Amino acid sequence: MTTHVLRIDASVRRDGSVSRRLTDRIVARLAPETVTHRDLATPLPLLDEAWIGANFTPADQRDDSQRATLALSDTLVSELKAADTLVIGLPIYNFGVPAAFKAWIDMVARAGVTFRYTEDGPEGLLPGKRAVVAVASGGTQTGSEIDFATGYVRHMLGFIGITDVTFVSADRLALDAEATLAAAEAEVDRLAA
């Protein structure tokens, strides 16, 4: 049962966005008790030298400036940890994920916080969560050789321990938007709450 959803909308379009329309429908279908919404149309800062320096300084040795530098990242990680389900609205831009979504990934994929390295390779530290990703694309077919978005998302979520990932695709909207959207909405309606 879904109790707490972290909804992440990566479309820069607030109005008329297919991925937002699908995330609305998914959240309604899951009917969680709590929804935390992270709208990436208000962009996150990109990583810089100060962020890297702060992140790789042991937590107990960080100064006030470094703690302030990591404050947004810490908030994003807390949102992620609190949720049992992620609902991600993901348009495909130029065959990949939007820059704003990549910035979110960069802020939450932190060694020792959301993953760790072991003798057997990396281990995600956020197991037991579910992700439902609503993909919207004008011409890129999900799972095709030119889709560099969904494989990346599956890999990065798995990297931090989230391996239960479902994609709902409204892809190739430029060919037949009405039929594509209807098929995606039917997929949402079949999701287990």
Return the pLDDT at 1. Answer: 76
pLDDT digits (tens, 9 = 90+) for 117-143: 999 999 999 999 999 999 999 999 999
Annotated binding-site residues for FMN read 11, 17-19
CA distance 70 to 96: 27
Cβ–Cβ < 8 Å for 30, 1: no
In terms of C-beta distances under 8 Å and separation of at least 24 residues, what long-range contacts does 143-147 make, across chains too? 146/95, 147/92, 147/95, 147/171
Helix (H/G/I), strand (E/B), else coil: 121 = strand
Residues 6 or more apart from 144 whose CB is under 8 A from it?
none
**Residue 11 has which token pair?**
């479309």
> Contact, 132 vs 87, CB < 8 A?
yes
The CATH class, in words, for 4-189 is alpha beta
- Ranges in the chain, pLDDT < 50: none
Annotated binding site: 11, 17-19
User: Collapsing DSSP states into helix, strand and coil, what is residue 88?
Assistant: strand
Tokens 């959301």, residue?
Answer: 114
The pLDDT score that the predictor gives to residue 35 is 98
Q: What are the domain boundaries of the chain?
A: 4-189
60 contact partners, CB below 8 Å, separation of at least 6 = none
Q: For residue range 95-107, list pLDDT tens digits in order.
A: 999 999 999 999 9
What are 112's two structure tokens?
């020792």
